[in-house]
Amino acid sequence: AQTVTQSQPEMSVQEAETVTLSCTYDTSESDYYLFWYKQPPSRQMILVIRQEAYKQQNATENRFSVNFQKAAKSFSLKISDSQLGDAAMYFCAYRYQGNTPLVFGKGTRLSVIA
Amino acid sequence: DAGVIQSPRHEVTEMGQEVTLRCKPISGHNSLFWYRQTMMRGLELLIYFNNNVPIDDSGMPEDRFSAKMPNASFSTLKIQPSEPRDSAVYFCASTRTGRGETQYFGPGTRLLVL
C-alpha cells in the first residue's frame, strides 16, 4: 500500500524568509501524481501545487516550488518570501493514475512570524 | 463555477441519532470522494464513486455508515446510529476523468456527536 510521510509536525518561518517542508512516499508504481494542499483555519483544502511523476522538471507556482526526487521518493515544498497568509496546515498527497483516491500525509503546521 | 457544495457546514447531534451529509460535485466531474479528517487518524478515504458507481468502500468504518450517489450531481453519506467517535470533519471532493486531474474539495462538514 502507498504511504506518505511528513516528518515535521510543526515548522515556523520569519516573514519574507524561505521555508522547506519535507515529504516522502512509498510506492511501487512508476506513474503517479503528487500534490501539496494547504488547509487554513477555515479548514478548506486548497491545492497549492502538483507534480506528475513522469516529468523531470520541478513544478513551480509563483512563490511555491517543489523538489521532486523520484529515485529517493521525496517531494519537498519550498515557500519563498513567506507571508502571514501562508500560515496553515500543509498536506502532502499521493495519487495513482486514473480517478483514484488521494493518500495523505499527517500534515505540517506552518507558523509565520511577523 | 460554484465548486463542490456540502451541507450542512456544521452539525451537532446526540448519540444514536441519524446524520445525513450531502454533497454536490462540480458539474462535469464524474468521480466523487468522501474523506474524513480527525486528529488521531488524519485525512482518510471513506468511499469513492466513478460515474455514480461505488468503487471502493473499504474505508467505511462499519455498517453504521452508508453512502449513495443516485445521480451525477448528488451524493449522501449517512451515519445511523451516530456515536461520539464519529465526530470529525467530513470532506467531499470531485474530479473529472483525465490524466492527473486535480481533486477539488468542498468546505467540509464539521460533525459533533454528543
Q: 10-residue block means of pLDDT along chain A (114 residues)?
A: 93 97 94 95 94 92 96 97 97 89 96 96
**A102–B50: do the CB atoms touch at under 8 Å?**
no
The model's confidence at residue B2, banded by pLDDT at 50, 70 and 90, is confident
Give the whole-angstrom CA distance, residue A32 versus residue A5.
16
Dump pLDDT digits (tens) for B63-112. Answer: 899 999 999 999 999 999 999 999 999 999 999 877 778 899 999 999 99
Which chain B residues contact residue A104 at CB under 8 A? 42-44
**Helix/strand/coil (H, E, C) string of B71-84?**
ECCEEEEEECCCCH
The torsion defined by the Cα of A3, A105, B59 and A31, in degrees rounded to 10, comes to -50
Residues 46-75, chain B, touching A (beta carbon < 8 A): 48, 50, 56
Is residue B87 within 8 Å of residue B111, measured between CB atoms?
A: yes
Burial A72-97 (b: 16+ CB within 10 A, else e): ebebbbbbeebeeebbbbbbbbbbbe
pLDDT over 70 at B1, yes or no: no
Q: Is B95 helix (H, G, I), strand (E, B) or coil?
A: strand
Of A44, A50, A91, the CB nearest to B43: A91
